[in-house]
Amino acid sequence: GTTGGTEEAILKDRRYLWHNITPYSEQNPPMIAASGSGSWITDLDGNRYLDGMSGLWCVNVGYGRKELAEAAYRQMLELPYFPLTQSHMPAIKLAEKLNEWLEGDYVIFFSNSGSEANEAAFKIARQYHQQTGQPFRHKTIARYRGYHGSSMGSLSATGQAQRKYKYEPLSGSFLHVSPPDGYRRPPGQTLEQFNLQCAQAIEDMVIWEGAETVAAVIMEPVITGGGVIVPEQIYLDRVQEICSKYGVLLIMDEVICGFGRSGRKFGHQNFGLKPDIVTMAKGLTSAYLPLSATAVRKDIYEAFKDSTDEYSHFRHVNTFGGNPAACALALRNLELMEEEGLVARAAVLGERLYEELSELLEHPLVGDIRHFGLITGIELVTDKTTRQPAPLDTVKAIIGACKQQGLIIGKNGDTVAGFNNVLTLAPPLASTDDDLDFLIKVLKAVMNEFAGS
Ligand code: PMP
């Protein structure tokens, strides 16, 4: 039975709250989280759960960090708000720190969410070409299964039909190509051939659309929410090459991959890429407060700078973007990550998780296991030869059984394509060895229960 006011809270939740995506269900009411500490969440009834999915919302340093709360509190008393039409020290300091983390010359534009960071990127890319006297390049190439946000532009860039089709018409300036989903490559092709072919699709699109109409390519270094799709090095090398060949800006969406998840500060650093624009969000503050950023290569910014023509400014206002308390918290968050070596720890934990789970490849339902630092995807299939995706009911039952045993994990993929079959594991970067042991133990036990189905 429920205690701690859960029953009443659920009634009120059902009456007053409109949730993200998940429909309300009698059988599976939402968990009402009450508090968090480290990698663990406690609900209103006092049940504890390891948040093995927190990486998707990027609570990277874990829950309950007083240092972060204090940084925001102090800044709120000092100066709670000032617009970035002018300036303030928390934004300046954070922008400098981000430049250091990016290992390149960037200028930072602040917003509040990943969607907004991408919107700013799209507008900067379009305007940049005009600032430099080029024709009106307005198209942006993105990928199927990629997720870039929920606002109309970032939704248009998103390549997941189920999120989009009821809201059409969207922006016509976004085009999509297939991602390098190596597990589902055509038989007979090597991974390298397949990755090259996927990259070639981008060059073909640029050529056929006309390079003079293409402003940018946007992608995550590794597709996370679309099923943990890890490309070969050669794919991203080719993408970078194609972008520079045709003067198309390369936007890296680091909303999930950024801030250590990949085992490097930013995901693209694993591949030695030099993106023109980098977008980032929740990981900036470990999701404690809303803040996002669009980092723009300095020489691109120069095309907007010091212009006397007011129509040459970036005419874009974000009232809350770069909120002082959020910036102060973000700066403390990055310092904490440095003090505790969390980026390197992500690499170590990620490697261990992947190794320990690899025995699951023998499991009848497991077709493939992929990882990028401390985010792991386990692709469930009913037939290892045809790679028939496991039905949603099975995926949900596994996730439900994990939750019963105190472990929250996620699923992703693309429902319309029948690919919502990738279990996703992404515990906080600050997870202890015991946390990881628990996650592995529960997942293996649950998978064992499903070995006969
Ligand atoms: N890009 C990626 C890769 C994301 O995962 C998300 C959100 N999960 C976004 C963009 C959009 O961020 P937000 O929800 O903060 O608008």
ipTM (interface pTM): 0.99
Same fold, 31-61+341-449 and 66-339: no
Query: Residue 160: CB within 6 Å of ligand 1?
Result: no
Residue 164 CA to residue 151 CA, distance in Å, equals 11
The two structure tokens encoding residue 337: 């990550």
Quote the ligand 1 centre to 221 CA distance (angstroms).
14
Q: Which of the four CATH numbers 3.20.20.140, 3.40.640.10, 3.40.50.2300, 2.60.120.10 does domain 66-339 have?
A: 3.40.640.10
Which of 291-324 are b and which e, b meaning 16 or more Cβ less than 10 Å from the residue's Cβ?
Answer: bbbbbbbeebbebbeeeeeeeeebeeebebbbbb
Query: What mean pLDDT is predicted for residues 131-138?
Result: 90
Cis amide leading into 169 (omega within 30): yes
Residues 6+ positions from 117 with CB-CB distance below 8 Å: 111, 255, 279, 280, 281, 292, 293, 294
Give yes or no for residue 15 having a pLDDT over 60: yes
Which of 53-57, 126-130, 361-365, 415-419 has the weakest average pLDDT?
A: 415-419
Helix (H) or strand (E) holding 386: none
pLDDT band at residue 418 using 50, 70 and 90 as cut-offs: low
Query: Residue 174: CB within 6 Å of ligand 1?
Result: no
Report the CATH fold assignment for 31-61+341-449.
Aspartate Aminotransferase, domain 1 (3.90.1150)
Give yes or no for residue 234 having a pLDDT over 80: yes
Residue-wise pLDDT tens digits, 267-324: 999 999 999 999 999 999 999 999 999 999 999 999 998 766 766 789 899 999 999 9
Residue-wise pLDDT tens digits, 65-93: 999 999 999 999 999 999 999 999 999 99
The helix/strand/coil state of 138 is coil
pLDDT band at residue 207 using 50, 70 and 90 as cut-offs: very high
β-sheet bridge partners, residue 422: 379, 412
Residue-wise pLDDT tens digits, 337-369: 999 999 999 999 999 999 999 999 999 999 999
Residue 350 CA to residue 370 CA, distance in Å, equals 11
Residue 21 CA to residue 27 CA, distance in Å, equals 17
From the CA of 115, give the closest atom in ligand 1.
16
> Are 283 and 259 contacting, i.e. CB atoms less than 8 angstroms apart?
yes
Quote the ligand 1 centre to 4 CA distance (angstroms).
33
Quote the ligand 1 centre to 202 CA distance (angstroms).
23
Q: Which amino acid is at 258?
A: G
Q: Is the pTM of this model over 0.95?
A: yes
Characterise 162 by phi-psi region: left (phi > 0), alpha (psi -120 to 50), beta (else): alpha
Quote the ligand 1 centre to 89 CA distance (angstroms).
27
Residue-range domain boundaries for the chain: 31-61+341-449, 66-339
Give yes or no for residue 1 having a pLDDT over 50: no
β-sheet bridge partners, residue 216: 140, 249
Query: Residue 255: CB within 6 Å of ligand 1?
Result: yes
From the CA of 151, give the closest atom in ligand 1.
16
Which of 46-60, 92-106, 411-425 has the weakest average pLDDT?
A: 411-425
Query: Residue 283: CB within 6 Å of ligand 1?
Result: no
